[in-house]
Amino acid sequence: MATLLIVDDDQMNCDLLQDLFSRQGYDVTCATSGREGLDLFRSINPKVTLVDLRMPEMDGLTVLKEIRALDPHAAVVILGGGATDAHENQARALRATDFIRKGLSLDILVEAVGRISQLPRPAMATQSPLTNREIGEQLGESVLVLDDEPLVCDLLVQFLSLRGYRTLGARNGQEALRMLDEMHPDVVLVDMIMPGMAGIDVLRALRAREYPGGIIIMTGSHNEELLQEAWSLGPHELLVKPVDLDRLLMAIQLVLVCREC
């Protein structure tokens, strides 16, 4: 009996899909959040995982990225309610096994899961989990967001993740520097005004480490002396809060292009 994990924040969808696939002979387990889904994925090692694209806190693409870190060959089907072509392209880039838009016939979903469940599972016993650096090499450019405001940090992480960047967040300077050694991000976004280790101290630490990536400052401060000191440490861009997201994307793209040049 093939094991099936369903990750969907809508309890009714979970119940309907569980009933549907249980009748097809699958051993079905459901999760109503991305984090719960990842915990279950680790514990039951499902044959196939169905993940809803649109979920609060942790969306389907982020769940897919985390699963890829645990098992590069896991069978993952994204259920794309209201999805755009860009969403599907991002899911394909992350090597989703299939991408099925919600609203299509359930027969199509059942057929896809049946086909995937018959595929042999690659042996994983000799493979160790991918490191953050290896994930970045597989999934494209990476960004580290440093902001002590949890809501701002989480929103920026989600915004950039949905646009194809492997993005992680840090809430303080010490945490960011620890993650820097493990993640080796291509770009770091640094909030200038933070308690404890201020953004200017993080910039100094990055320069002392000869960090080769791009640095983008985010600040709501108009302290000229502070801003001049920050510029003297050679960031690539300074964005005024509240950050214009289109300008942020353009700044990141320019930084990455300049690095390649």
Q: Report the distance separating Cα 160 and Cα 137, nearest Å.
A: 17
Give the architecture (CATH level 2) of 132-260.
3-Layer(aba) Sandwich (3.40)
Q: Report the distance separating Cα 254 and Cα 261, nearest Å.
A: 10
Q: Are 49 and 38 in contact (CB under 8 A)?
A: no
Please tell me the pTM assigned to this model: 0.49
Q: Report the distance separating Cα 239 and Cα 49, nearest Å.
A: 39
Half-sphere exposure of 16 (CA within 13 A, CB side): 9
Give me the pLDDT at residue 135, please.
Answer: 43
Report the mean per-residue pLDDT for the chain. 84
Residue 157 has pLDDT above 60, yes or no: yes
Q: Report the distance separating Cα 160 and Cα 253, nearest Å.
A: 12
The token duo for 205 is 């630490």
Is CATH 3.40.50.300 what the domain over 3-117 is classified as, yes or no? no
Is the torsion defined by CA of 243, 244, 245, 251 positive or negative?
negative
Residues of the chain with CATH 3.40.50.2300: 3-117, 132-260
Residue-wise pLDDT for 89-125, tens only, equals: 888 878 888 888 766 677 888 988 999 988 776 544 3
Give me the pLDDT at residue 51, please.
Answer: 95
Residue type (1 letter), 231: W
Residue-wise pLDDT for 190-246, tens only, equals: 998 888 888 899 999 998 999 988 999 998 877 888 888 888 888 888 888 888 888
Most confident range (mean pLDDT) of 39-48, 71-80, 160-169, 250-259 is 39-48
